[in-house]
């Protein structure tokens, strides 16, 4: 705990995803004061054609109380 899930379009390299996971882990450790052993990070690739239905509607529109950073786009 905590477990961070990043949802993103396909196409990023494994190196990019690993670097992002490393930076997220470090930030979680710095801000929330957890040890590295407590943090996990997952990447969930979502096709652009499915983004509105699988991510935007359920995670952004329908969950405003959980959203701490809103996107600069609407669908």
The catalytic site residues sit at 2
CB 42 within 8 A of CB 53: no
CB 6 within 8 A of CB 20: yes
CB 1 within 8 A of CB 43: no
């Amino acid at each position: 705990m905590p477990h961070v899930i990043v949802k993103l379009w396909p196409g990023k390299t494994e190196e990019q995803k690993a670097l992002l996971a490393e930076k997220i882990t470090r930030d979680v450790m710095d801000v929330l004061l957890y040890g590295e052993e407590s943090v996990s990070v997952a990447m969930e690739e979502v096709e652009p054609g499915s983004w509105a239905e699988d991510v935007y509607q359920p995670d952004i529109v329908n969950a405003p109380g959980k959203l701490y950073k809103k996107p600069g786009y609407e669908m």
